[in-house]
Amino acid sequence: MGRPMKYSPAQASKLSEEEVARYKAISAEVSAKGKDKSADAKAAAERIEAAVTSAAADAKKNYGNDEEVDEIQTSDADFVGIVVSSEAVSGGELNVNLDDVYFEEPKVVVEEEEEEANDDERSLWGDGDNDPADEKADD
């Protein structure tokens, strides 16, 4: 594995002298191959494939799964699905059972007192005028 990267946005990132020398050597090597037209894409792809295979083997070794591959067996009897979100299940059905849930309710129900009719309330119809609908009902 590589060394841990320490990033701080307040400070500019600086490469060591070894890293600068290495990237300049790589740049010169690639430039020379580009000028000679000797760059081999197939060999580069094979090196990349070997590096990816090596990284996968390292990851498998580090996680301790040498004998067992981490796969989800949907045919297993214990597999009930994977919850993707609160309402979506991949490979199964979402069954909600609220039988064992206790809903707390108040032990004593208090009846609300009715508000007394207040004739002093201001009419909401207009500026002190009575509502014409009330006048028709009175007639």
Contact 92, 81 (CB under 8 A): yes
Range of the domain at 45: 17-62
Q: Is 74 left (phi over 0), alpha (psi -120 to 50) or beta?
A: alpha
**Radius of gyration from C-alpha coordinates of the chain:** 38
Does 107 map to a domain? no
Does 124 map to a domain? no
Does 4 map to a domain? no
Q: What is the pLDDT of residues 63-78, one digit of tens each?
A: 765 555 567 778 888 8
Residue 82 forms beta bridges with which residues? 90
pTM assigned to the model: 0.28
The pLDDT of residue 79 is 82
Percent pLDDT > 90 in the chain is 17
46 — pLDDT class (breaks 50, 70, 90): very high
Domain count, the chain: 1
Contact 1, 58 (CB under 8 A): yes
Does 41 map to a domain? yes
Does 89 map to a domain? no
User: What secondary structure, in 3-state letters, does 79-104 show?
Assistant: CCCEECCCCCEECCCCCCCCCCCCCC
Does 69 map to a domain? no
Does 136 map to a domain? no
Distance CA 37, CA 41 (A): 11
Does 31 map to a domain? yes
Contact 42, 49 (CB under 8 A): no
